[in-house]
Amino acid sequence: MANTFEIAVFSGDGIGPEITGPTVKILRLMSEVSTGYDLSFAEAPAGAAHYAKTGESLPETSMRIAQNADAILLSAMGLPDVRYEDGTEISPQIDLRKALTLFAGVRPVTVRPGQLTPLKMPAGKEIDFVLVRESTEGLFHTQGCGEVTKDEARETLLITREISEKLFEFSFNLAKQRQTAGRGQGRVTCVDKANVFRAFAFFREIYDAEAAKHPDLTADHAYVDATALWMVQKPWDFDVLVTENMFGDILSDLGAGLMGGLGLAPSADIGLDHAVFQPCHGSAPDIAGQGVANPFAMILSAAMMLEWLGIKHDNDALRTDGQRLREAVESVVASGQILTRDLGGSASTKDAASAVEALLAMAPA
Ligand code: ATP
């Protein structure tokens, strides 16, 4: 059936399975009720625990499940005590990003009324912007193979025209979609350091060429250091920010900080054909197995997945359900009644997810 979509599920390590279970349960319920689409799920074993058991962190069969799926839902992978022989961490999510050319790391930053934030929010202001982090090159180009001698260490930053063009086209399209959905002013800001590095002047030149194709949208530039300052001073002014891999890595954690922590920060890594949706946080081994992990970042990532599938396949039911799922999480957070420990409450993972499920049941599609 044209409206049937297969989701590859990487339950992962640590708290991964604890937050994946209730998220998939919610998706199954939404799919069962909907007449506009059907979801099926294929579990893909991978991660640090799997490596410890089998000697493989991302088996070929799991890679194939990911490649054949319409979307990939991933919780978190990696455990501090399980490493490759060279001492590096096990992170199949980075291997997936590279193998599937997922160049656009999408990190939404939202602070709604009632949501805990370290900022003093002016009355009537909300934060709702998206950081797009290039995710396959930049300063991560030589990750794991930088040159280190006794007296020197070198890593190389790579910015290519091919990936930058795709990245900027993606960012302008995203700004347009947000504007159409009433969520932004239709503005894209290129975040760089073009005043100091030639590579960023190159990055900016490619950005300007793409901007010229979108006269209906606003395009501007900002230096990364100033952006860090403005993310604290006036984050409500931003719409879509697009930047290099390492800058995006740092700024997205600052964004998660604005949102009151990692427990509410979803993300997506998107390419032309594939996309992985996963919370920004890691496997949190310190709280694994206790049933207290916050499932909201994972559920919000699943909401992004539904919206992305809806846009890609022009399916209104998926788009609407993605929005409904995001709004259900936002309502539970705003009411402040059923929050996990990291958000100042005492609810269990199960109770927090059930609160979202109950809201969806009260307002069916
Ligand atoms: P990684 O490097 O894999 O991204 P990390 O070392 O940054 O991981 P996390 O696993 O994200 O670390 O955990 C950082 C802290 O945040 C830990 O104290 C962890 O318990 C907490 N934390 C992370 N995710 C959640 C969650 N979903 N619910 C509650 N606490 C969380």
pLDDT per residue over 305-321, tens digit each? Answer: 999 999 999 999 999 99
Cβ(257) to ligand 1 under 6 A? no
pLDDT of residue 50: 97
**Mean pLDDT, range 80-102, rounded to an integer:** 90
pLDDT per residue over 177-216, tens digit each? Answer: 999 989 999 999 999 999 999 999 999 999 999 999 999 9
Comparing CA positions, the residue from 300, 303, 229, 222 lying closest to residue 264 is 300
Positive or negative torsion for Cα 1, 27, 184, 270? negative
The structural domains of the chain, ordered by start, are 1-100+273-365 (3.40.718.10), 105-263 (3.40.718.10)
pLDDT above 70: residue 1: no
pLDDT per residue over 208-252, tens digit each? Answer: 999 999 999 999 999 999 999 999 999 999 999 999 999 999 999
Cβ(295) to ligand 1 under 6 A? no
31, 325 contact by CB (below 8 A): no
- Which atom of ligand 1 is found nearest the CA of 297? 27
Angle at 357 between CA 352 and CA 361, to 5 degrees: 150
Q: What gap in Å lies between CA 328 and CA 324, rounded to an integer?
A: 6
Cβ(262) to ligand 1 under 6 A? yes
**Mean pLDDT, range 93-118, rounded to an integer:** 91
123 DSSP 8-state letter:
T
- Which atom of ligand 1 is found nearest the CA of 77? 3
pLDDT of residue 361: 86
Rounded to the nearest whole angstrom, what is the distance from the C-alpha of residue 15 to the centroid of ligand 1?
Answer: 9
Instruction: Tell the residue number behind the tokens 């909907």, with chain if given.
Output: 34
Ligand 1 atom 8, closest CA: 282
